[in-house]
A = this chain, B = another copy of it.
């Protein structure tokens, strides 16, 4: 998946890397500030709003963790300030911003969807603002694309739903255990921070408290992203549940006839043998509260050998493993550091 001609990392492994955050006042952006301000291998030199007209402001929850001011976006200044730039922007803004930063010589870690889809037609449909994939783009689902990241120019971090879902499903797909032609169903439940920080009726407290709502049926842009990684169609159905942060994804699939529970376990355990942030809970089903405020993904599953069905359940903190934490994990690989640096 790595771009073959990408320059390999020339950052000195032991040095501190200068980093900047564009879009630092959103939920994912603030998590980035929190993580990078105390990252032993990064020096946060600039944090900006999402626009040139953003009002300068401080982040009260982060006082004494990072006391800088979030300044209006000035791309040239960002390019001068940092070797690595994190983009926590809406995808249209990322689509426009990232190429300019790459041209200026920065390496980019993008949290938006702008560069996730490799297929031109799919990308044109779901992310029309993205003109072309720049050279050196790597899809940064760290557990499966780690080898390509050190040489990436732009790491495109997965969506929160695909992160939770693929860490559980992809091992079965790659082991060839999912029955051909059968349905793969992803029923995901997300906290409201997944809907972003912009105030709307959808994010109003009273519309969510005491309620659950399904949305995006047959039309969420994370669907092609999951399908791309699995190499097959999926049915993906997101729901908003009344909590702040966290995703629980429940996945239903049919196994190739004759697949044993042991084979399923082997496939998952092998895929994650060296995944420091993936914790397998076996037939104990995971809960969001065990991963909230962490970069962990917990995965449990059960196999019904008689019917050939498997159900998997995975949980993440959508703002950390599903956004800022995964971005930092990718950053660690980019600079040649242990992927756990600053995340435990």
- Which residues of A are at the interface with B, using a C-beta cutoff of 8 A? 27, 38, 60-61, 63-65, 183, 185, 187, 189, 191-193, 197, 199-201, 203-215, 217-218, 233, 235, 237, 239, 241-246, 248, 250, 252, 254, 276, 279, 281, 283-285, 287-293, 296, 298, 302, 304, 307, 309, 311, 313, 315, 344
Contact = CB atoms under 8 A, between A and B. Distances in A.
B288 A212 contact: yes
A233 B254 CA distance: 14
B287 A211 contact: yes
Nearest to A285: B214
Contacts of A292: 210-211
A193 B235 CA distance: 30
Given A237-B250, A276-B64, A288 B183 contact: no
A233 B38 CA distance: 43
A56 to B, nearest CB: 16
Contacts of A193: 206
A281 B60 contact: yes
B250 A215 contact: no
B243 A284 contact: no
